[in-house]
Amino acid sequence: MMADSSESLPPIPSGQDQESFWRVYLLANQIIMYLAARPPTEAETFAAIFQSASVPENSAVARGRAGVLKITKQIVKIMLEVPLSSSLRSSHSEVFQAFESLQKTHDIYVAPTEENVNDLEKWSRFFVGLRTDLVEFTARIGTVVEEWESMEQ
């Protein structure tokens, strides 16, 4: 079984929808940095192990998988909490389109039960989809967030 945490982020105050984009951008980059934090000569080997190796529940890989899943769940939760009436949905529809793909990948893995965390075949399919969808989503939302950041300076 993968580790679970009862911690969650504080709610985003009403009317501060941009905070959602900032949060998910930082969370998505946490996953990307974790997966990329290997010397180039070890990157592919690590990715293969992380994706499909059967490992003990208390191993570093199992903890990493649990962390990736937990962060992905937070990203989905935060994005789903952006109000339907938010202007971000229309002004940055490309972000929400990319999010839909990420959400589908997430939903396929976590549905219908949390028992899927021990299903290596399902994890492998999730991880393959996540790598593609997360990078696309992060690129889309990153463009928006970085533009906001440049306007603040």
Domain ranges of the chain: 18-152
CA dihedral 64, 66, 69, 70 (to 10 degrees): -110
Q: What is the pLDDT of residues 82-125, one digit of tens each?
A: 999 999 999 999 999 999 999 999 998 886 455 555 688 888 88
Q: Flag whether the pTM goes above 0.85.
A: yes
Report which residue type is found at 88. Answer: L
pLDDT at 115: 59
Task: Compute φ and ψ for 35, nearest 5 degrees.
Answer: -70, -25
Does the pLDDT value for residue 11 go beyond 70? Answer: yes
Cα angle for residues 64, 66, 69 (degrees, 5° grid): 110
128: nearest Cα among 51, 29, 67: 51
Does the pLDDT value for residue 7 go beyond 70? Answer: no
Cis peptide before 112 (omega within 30 of 0): yes
Q: What is the pLDDT of residues 117-147, one digit of tens each?
A: 568 888 888 999 999 999 999 999 999 999 9
